[in-house]
A and B are shown apart, each in its own frame.
Chain A
Amino acid sequence: MRFKFSLSRWQFFAWVIGLLLITPLCFLLFESLQGDSEVFSHLWDTVLWDYTRNTLLLILGVGVVSCLIALPLGWLTAYCDFPGRRQFEWALMLPLAMPTYIIAYVYTDLFDYAGPVQIALRNWFGWQAPSDYWFFDIRTLPGAIMMIALVLYPYLYLIFKTALREQSFKLVQASQLMGHSPRHSFYKVSLPLSRGAIVAGLALISMEAMADFATVNYFAVSTLTTAVYDTWLGYYSLTAAAKISAIMLLILFLALTMERYSRRNQAVFERQSGVNSDTLYTLTGKSAWLATAFCFVVLFFAFVLPVAVLVGYAISYAEQAWNSAFFLYAWQSFKVAIIVSVVTIALSLLVVFYQRIAKQAYPLIPGRLASIGYALPGTVLAIAVLLPLTLLDDKLNTWLEPAGFSPGLLLSGTLFAIIFAYVVRFYAIAHGAVEASFMRISPSLDMASQSMGKSQAQTLRKVHIPLLRRGILTAALLVFIECMKELPAALLLRPFNFETLATHVFQYVSDEQLELASISALAIVLVGLVPLYFVNRSMEQRS
């Protein structure tokens, strides 16, 4: 009987966590269905269609540019041997660590009228004024597309390369033996077989591109993301913000469905044999140098140059940048990130443990519910979190007023809001990592522990947690890093006078003074490099 009781206790916890973390989204959906708000109908009549069009164009453009960059890179590094291939294979993921607003700032600085490129051109050709020549303006939608694609292409590159690696080389060899050239074999065999992977990669990129706030805001390109931000900060209309968010959720839902569907299709084509270790073609002479040059150019513009510029800023402005503000904001970011890591790990341990011991139907549902928040764009998430928290604050104040207390914005105006939002957003990372390490623990260990008279809580504490230590640490680290990098939610939710490293850097980007925050920007890039190390290591373990 005791056994039964404890099981339902785990079930209770798991469901509470799942429902709690899905609450903001429910509020958002509910709010978006509320009656017409004046602000929203005004937007609807005026600019909303332009915003939606811009968002869709942004997604489309980033997708196309990413394909142009990532597909050749994936093919080269998966199939061909050329000078530097091994180094490029991992180095080409580095741009993922680069926040879009930093790269956007660096290129604006390089390419605008007062930047070194135009100055050099003017000196070279003897031009005097802007009217003497045409030069592209980077602070436009196409410019934003380029910037975002430069840091998002690695998603597609990684997924496509892995798909190619996992296809048996023998399929391509068979095609070649049947008289098809390497190029033709690629179109007839490799490409159709990895179509699912490409779609999945593009779906991920679309979600990230749609969620991008910083670049489009900095470039003054109005999209749905900036609309949500402006509606809240400009009009204080949560209803209108919720309605715009709902449009984004619709796009998101389409992207997610596409991703799910293509992954399922891909499963049919999964190879039977192991991952290919060798390469298929050895490039020599001109083609080898072309391959190396292409990889280098991408890496240079997406990572090396921006980092070099940041380092340059940091050196020339060392005194102003290396100041107490950096340490204060680093400490504040660090504090929030640590709290969120600990909370998400604790919650995910409970939920995953419930999944393991559950004998009821649908044990996976609480975890699934809790993980949905990960897909929400930062601005949407912020609005979604504000809805229930402002309501609660309101109620609290009403109840406590007769007793003489006035707690103010206890939940929505403090660190609690940011932490709650981050937990909703990053729970999925912790859940995924913890679940993966749980899978590696043989179920017979649970049975052994129970047969020796240990309760489930004791089994969790004495058997699972020690075995999960590495997985837990990895999960905590990944959550920590994401928290350090997150920008849009922090911008909307941070309490008065509170800055994270990311908001601090973005503030200076907006003020055209990134030089003064260059140390913080470098810190964010460095922190972002850490998860890439894990990705790379797990890829190496697979091959």
Chain B
Amino acid sequence: MSSLVLENLSYQYNGTPVITGLDLVVAQDEIVCLLGASGCGKTTTLKAIAGLLATKQGKVFIGGKLVSDERTFLAPEYRNIGMMFQDYALFPHLTVADNIAFGLTKMSKIQKQQRVNEMLELVHLVGCEKRFPHQLSGGQQQRVAIARALAYKPSLLLLDEPFSNIDTQVRFELIADIRRIIKNQQVSAVFVTHSKEEAFAFADTLAIMDCGKIAQQGTPEQLFNTPNSKVVAEFLGQGIYLDAEALTATEYSTAFGRVESLLAHSHAKRVGQLYVRPHHLELTPLQSKHSSVNTVTVLNRRFVGSHFVYKVMIEGQEIDVAAQSGQSFLVNEDVTIRITPHTVNFFAE
């Protein structure tokens, strides 16, 4: 049974559509990331799931139970949802232990104590139970927030940009930590972010949101390798568009010559554009004295630790490209660019 189903969900704020016919399914124990630019309706969707705002159109099912449609609206306190807020929303007047115990309503004192201890152990905060939120570091506060949201065994966990306040140095460590905790507690989760790195690191599947609906849902690799739209392709990584024509199922002709695909496609329309990502491009030393279509000039170069990346201009679009291993170029040097065989992203016109 799915933990969460959204069917044709729509919401308008002061007449402006924010969510427009959104469908989403979250399977049992799955972590789904709602990924999208700011203002695409991610947080609104999360609030609609939690019941913090009432949607008049579309259906919301949690654990198979209808909680919201045109006639039904179940108040947030009856939905059994855990939520982790961007600023954690820890109660400043309560200790860590009281914060965690806050949602444990139908338990005896001893049971509560036990559950709090379990959670403290899970989030590695044993010994901090008597402290107040303002006495904790940001990372510790975050672990209290997750412990609090999971303590009462919610049927669904919602996370609203929970990592945006964390320093980049420790962010991915924490993401791995929280993911471990969620997986340990076997709970389904919906996670909202605008950062694809966080999404890749945290989620099982991604749902890219655009203009109030889901553009595509799938595993990170699926979305990255076979995006179904330019929006998805662009959102997941930098690239350039090249006008192309499909010659066969695996061969395309472009201004840079023929490009080979590792996967056969069948296209109804043969004319369109290829979306080429930097790692499908390779710079090599100039092969002939005469400049050809494959010749580009290095506009500038930037050292990134293990190698240089070079900024070049292709068809009027700038892109950062790495050189073939062992090669190095100077600024203003002419070089040859090559498109390596890969699973192409072809968007017919």
Establish whether residues B92 and A176, one from each chain, have CB atoms under 8 Å apart when the complex forms: no
A residues less than 8 Å from B93 (CB atoms): 192-193, 269
Establish whether residues A189 and B91, one from each chain, have CB atoms under 8 Å apart when the complex forms: yes
Establish whether residues B82 and A177, one from each chain, have CB atoms under 8 Å apart when the complex forms: yes
Establish whether residues A177 and B87, one from each chain, have CB atoms under 8 Å apart when the complex forms: no
* Contact among A180, A268, A273 for B105, CB-based, below 8 A: A180
The answer to the question of B252 belonging to the interface, with a C-beta cut-off of 8 Å to chain A, is no
> Assuming A176-B76, A268-B134, is B105 touching A168 (CB within 8 A)?
no
Pull 11 A–B residue pairs with CB atoms less than 8 Å apart, ordered by A: A171-B89, A173-B85, A174-B83, A174-B89, A177-B76, A177-B79, A178-B82, A178-B152, A180-B102, A181-B75, A273-B87
Q: How far is the CA of A193 from the CA of B134 in the complex (A)?
A: 14
B residues less than 8 Å from A273 (CB atoms): 87
Q: How far is the CA of A272 from the CA of B90 in the complex (A)?
A: 11
Q: How far is the CA of A238 from the CA of B52 in the complex (A)?
A: 63
Find residues 35-54 in chain B having any chain A CB closer than 8 Å to their own CB.
50, 52
Find residues 138-170 in chain B having any chain A CB closer than 8 Å to their own CB.
148, 152
Find residues 248-290 in chain A having any chain B CB closer than 8 Å to their own CB.
268-269, 272-273
Interface string of B74-101 (1 = CB under 8 A from A): 0111111111010101011100000000
Q: How far is the CA of A326 from the CA of B82 in the complex (A)?
A: 66
Q: How far is the CA of A174 from the CA of B149 in the complex (A)?
A: 9
The answer to the question of A234 belonging to the interface, with a C-beta cut-off of 8 Å to chain B, is no
Most buried by B among A174, A176, A193: A174
Establish whether residues A179 and B80, one from each chain, have CB atoms under 8 Å apart when the complex forms: yes
Establish whether residues A176 and B75, one from each chain, have CB atoms under 8 Å apart when the complex forms: yes
Q: How far is the CA of A507 from the CA of B92 in the complex (A)?
A: 52
Q: How far is the CA of A178 from the CA of B75 in the complex (A)?
A: 11
Q: How far is the CA of A181 from the CA of B87 in the complex (A)?
A: 22
B residues less than 8 Å from A217 (CB atoms): none
The answer to the question of B63 belonging to the interface, with a C-beta cut-off of 8 Å to chain A, is no
Q: How large is the interface on B (under 10, 10 to 19, 20 to 34, 35 or more residues)?
A: 20 to 34
Q: How far is the CA of A173 from the CA of B49 in the complex (A)?
A: 13
Establish whether residues A176 and B77, one from each chain, have CB atoms under 8 Å apart when the complex forms: yes
By a beta-carbon cutoff of 8 Å, the part of chain B in contact with chain A is 50, 52, 75-83, 85, 87, 89, 91-93, 102-103, 105, 132, 134, 148, 152
Closest to A188 in B: B102
Give the Cβ gap from A199 to chain B, nearest Cβ, in Å: 14
Establish whether residues A173 and B89, one from each chain, have CB atoms under 8 Å apart when the complex forms: yes
A residues less than 8 Å from B89 (CB atoms): 168, 170-171, 173-174
Give the Cβ gap from A467 to chain B, nearest Cβ, in Å: 35
Chain A to chain B: the 6 pairs with minimum beta-carbon distance, closest first: A178-B103, A170-B89, A174-B89, A176-B76, A269-B92, A192-B93
Closest to A193 in B: B93
> Assuming A170-B89, A273-B87, is B102 touching A178 (CB within 8 A)?
yes
B residues less than 8 Å from A193 (CB atoms): 91-93
What would 15 more interface pairs be, CB under 8 Å, given A170-B85, A174-B85? A168-B89, A170-B87, A173-B76, A174-B91, A175-B91, A176-B75, A177-B79, A178-B77, A178-B82, A178-B148, A179-B78, A179-B103, A181-B75, A189-B91, A193-B92
* Contact among B79, B82, B87, B132 for A168, CB-based, below 8 A: B87
B residues less than 8 Å from A269 (CB atoms): 92-93
A residues less than 8 Å from B132 (CB atoms): 268
Establish whether residues B81 and A177, one from each chain, have CB atoms under 8 Å apart when the complex forms: yes
Establish whether residues B102 and A175, one from each chain, have CB atoms under 8 Å apart when the complex forms: yes
Q: How far is the CA of A173 from the CA of B79 in the complex (A)?
A: 13
Q: How far is the CA of A268 from the CA of B93 in the complex (A)?
A: 9
Establish whether residues B77 and A181, one from each chain, have CB atoms under 8 Å apart when the complex forms: yes
B residues less than 8 Å from A188 (CB atoms): 102
Find residues 124-178 in chain A having any chain B CB closer than 8 Å to their own CB.
168, 170-171, 173-178
Most buried by B among A175, A177, A273: A177
Closest to A171 in B: B89
Contact residues of A: prevailing secondary structure: helix
> Assuming A193-B92, A193-B93, A269-B92, is B77 touching A180 (CB within 8 A)?
yes
Q: How far is the CA of A176 from the CA of B85 in the complex (A)?
A: 13
Q: How far is the CA of A173 from the CA of B88 in the complex (A)?
A: 11
Q: How far is the CA of A177 from the CA of B150 in the complex (A)?
A: 12
Give the Cβ gap from A536 to chain B, nearest Cβ, in Å: 24
Closest to B52 in A: A173
Most buried by B among A173, A176, A179, A189: A179
Q: How far is the CA of A389 from the CA of B76 in the complex (A)?
A: 67
Q: How far is the CA of A191 from the CA of B148 in the complex (A)?
A: 21
Give the Cβ gap from B45 to chain A, nearest Cβ, in Å: 15
Q: How far is the CA of A180 from the CA of B81 in the complex (A)?
A: 12
Establish whether residues A179 and B92, one from each chain, have CB atoms under 8 Å apart when the complex forms: no
B residues less than 8 Å from A178 (CB atoms): 77, 82, 102-103, 105, 148, 152
Closest to B47 in A: A173
A residues less than 8 Å from B79 (CB atoms): 177
Give the Cβ gap from B72 to chain A, nearest Cβ, in Å: 15
A residues less than 8 Å from B152 (CB atoms): 178-179
A residues less than 8 Å from B50 (CB atoms): 173, 177
A residues less than 8 Å from B75 (CB atoms): 176, 181
A residues less than 8 Å from B134 (CB atoms): 268
Closest to A175 in B: B102
Establish whether residues A272 and B87, one from each chain, have CB atoms under 8 Å apart when the complex forms: yes
> Assuming A170-B85, A174-B83, is B77 touching A179 (CB within 8 A)?
yes
Q: How far is the CA of A176 from the CA of B77 in the complex (A)?
A: 5
B residues less than 8 Å from A192 (CB atoms): 93
A residues less than 8 Å from B77 (CB atoms): 176-181
A residues less than 8 Å from B105 (CB atoms): 178-180
Q: How far is the CA of A180 from the CA of B91 in the complex (A)?
A: 14
Q: How far is the CA of A179 from the CA of B148 in the complex (A)?
A: 12
A residues less than 8 Å from B85 (CB atoms): 170, 173-174
* Contact among A177, A180, A189, A268 for B83, CB-based, below 8 A: A177
Give the Cβ gap from A262 to chain B, nearest Cβ, in Å: 13
Closest to B103 in A: A178
Q: How far is the CA of A493 from the CA of B75 in the complex (A)?
A: 62
Closest to B160 in A: A170
Closest to B102 in A: A178
Q: How far is the CA of A192 from the CA of B134 in the complex (A)?
A: 16
Q: How far is the CA of A273 from the CA of B103 in the complex (A)?
A: 23
A residues less than 8 Å from B82 (CB atoms): 177-178
B residues less than 8 Å from A174 (CB atoms): 83, 85, 89, 91, 148
Establish whether residues B92 and A268, one from each chain, have CB atoms under 8 Å apart when the complex forms: yes
Give the Cβ gap from A271 to chain B, nearest Cβ, in Å: 8
Closest to B158 in A: A177
Closest to A196 in B: B93
A residues less than 8 Å from B81 (CB atoms): 177
Q: How far is the CA of A269 from the CA of B132 in the complex (A)?
A: 11
